[in-house]
Structure 1
């Protein structure tokens, strides 16, 4: 089983102007750096929580069909865009939308309504494409936006080689915001 980003977010939860205001930066000299720091902060928030903040496309690849409903581990899931199975001839066949249903929740699940075709290859013969994320920047919860702000500020403040140790740890304020949302792995 693997989960792959197939369509990156079209934007970030916070604009460059919002991040610069939070950082109290008035000049344009570091705009590219600050935009990169904000993107890295969003990525870290997504990695820690397992959430997709801005709408993005994902692909879950499976070797075989599980017995129970299939968990889509990148919430919140907006929609399933396609489920495809590779035949022994190498041709991908897309299931009809009526053959499956999205069960909303954390995590969302795919319920197969009819017995699906068996993949013709041993590894990676099933692809489930789905759209995840809260939507656009306005739909991202404020707690997550604040964590992005705090992480971007931390990265901005600690960008010299002497502070490498500090960059590898999450600031307590951002960690506290994300603690209730942390993805728990067993």
Structure 2
């Protein structure tokens, strides 16, 4: 199965202003850095949860008889194809096609306001950590917060991976 992003998200789940408010940053000196951190946090959430946050469109190319999992493209808004396919009843859902097919998947929670608040809060916490600690290891500082403190915010949204 080959997956290609054809229509990227129209924006990010957090605005620059929201991130700057959380970071208590008033100046514009770090706008490019903070914007990059917002994108990195969204990408990390999408990887960790197996879900897309903002509406986007993907094309999946399936060979005849191939099974293709959709766990990285949830929540699904719509599936369309000129060829026949079946969507099994398992979780996460899997596509199967008797012949080669291209399936268009529109996925994501919707716009930024539709993204669950626990995901947005996780992003803010992660952005704050990355903004304050710009190196992977800082000598003489406290260790990372326990997993349950921040990462548990994503637990309700994580899709099991086969």
Is the TM-score greater than 0.5? yes
Q: TM-score, normalised by structure 2?
A: 0.79
Counting only pairs closer than 5 Å after superposition, residues 82-161 of structure 1 correspond to structure 2 as: 83=81, 94-95=82-83, 107-108=92-93, 118-119=99-100, 126-160=101-135
Aligned to 1:86: none
Q: Conserved in 2, the CA contact under 8 Å of 1:14 and 1:145? A: yes
Match of 1:185 in 2: 161
The answer for unaligned runs of 5 or more in structure 2 is: none
**1:104–1:11: structure 2 CA closer, same or farther, 3 Å change rule?**
farther
What is the CA RMSD across the aligned residues, in angstroms?
3.1
Alpha-carbon distance in 1 for matches of 2:56, 2:111: 10
Paired residue for 1:65? 65
CA shift for structure 1 position 61: 2.3
Summarize deviations over 1:29-88 as a string: whole Å, max 9, x none: 11111010011001100100000000011122222235x8x642211000124x2xxxxx
Give secondary structure in 1 for the equivalent of 2:53.
coil
* Alignment match, 1:17: 17
Secondary structure in structure 2 of the residue aligned to 1:14: coil
**How many residues are paired up?**
157
Per-residue deviation, residues 107-159 of structure 1 (Å, max 9, x unmatched): 355587xxx5x34xxxxxx3211110010001111111111111111111121
- Rounded to whole Å, the distance in 2 between the matches of 1:171 and 1:17 is 28
- Secondary structure at the aligned position of 1:78 is classed as strand
Is 2:8 the counterpart of 1:33?
Answer: no
In 2, Cα distance between equivalents of 1:5 and 1:171: 35
User: CA 1:79/1:104 → structure 2, altered by over 3 Å: closer, same or farther?
Assistant: farther
Distance 1:28 1:3 in 2: 37
Structure 2 match to 1:91 = none
Structure 1: gaps of 5 or more residues: 84-93, 120-125
Higher CA-based Rg: 1
